[in-house]
Amino acid sequence: MDLFFKTGKVEDSFTAPGLDEAKKKLDTMLLSEDERREYNKYAEYLRKLASYHDTEKEDLKDAIKAAETKGKIEGRMEGKIETAREMKKKGFDHALISELTSLTREEIEKL
């Protein structure tokens, strides 16, 4: 650590916890005002970009979940329709088919 006080540099051989963050902060402090302003603009751009990607990732997860839910609903509906078709073929009353499948009489008649 005495070397730091002599040179003002954080050497790669230094191993104290948190030293990487301190080195980045020190490197930033050693920049000129214009360089620091550009660095801060770039850092802000990276934060916004990361936030945008996080939002996109969450939106994609939501879309996938919605698609899965829609698929399950459609699958259940297809199962009800198939059951209603079979019941209709076997001569079941439309009222009973409607009661058991939750399909309307109109939907059953179209099968």
51-78 pLDDT, tens digit each: 999 999 999 999 999 999 999 999 999 9
Kindly state whether residue 61 falls inside one of the protein's structural domains: yes
Q: Name the token pair of 35.
A: 């360089």
Kindly state whether residue 11 falls inside one of the protein's structural domains: no
Give the CA angle between residues 101, 80, 96 to the nearest 5°.
Answer: 25
Kindly state whether residue 37 falls inside one of the protein's structural domains: yes
What whole-number percentage of the chain has pLDDT above 70?
82
Over its length of 111 residues, how does the chain's per-residue pLDDT go in tens digits? 444 445 556 566 666 677 677 677 767 777 788 988 998 999 999 999 999 999 999 999 999 999 999 999 999 999 999 999 999 999 999 999 999 999 999 999 998
Kindly state whether residue 4 falls inside one of the protein's structural domains: no
Domain coverage including residue 77: 31-110
User: Is there a contact between 97 and 87 (Cβ–Cβ < 8 Å)?
Assistant: yes
Domain count, the chain: 1
Kindly state whether residue 71 falls inside one of the protein's structural domains: yes
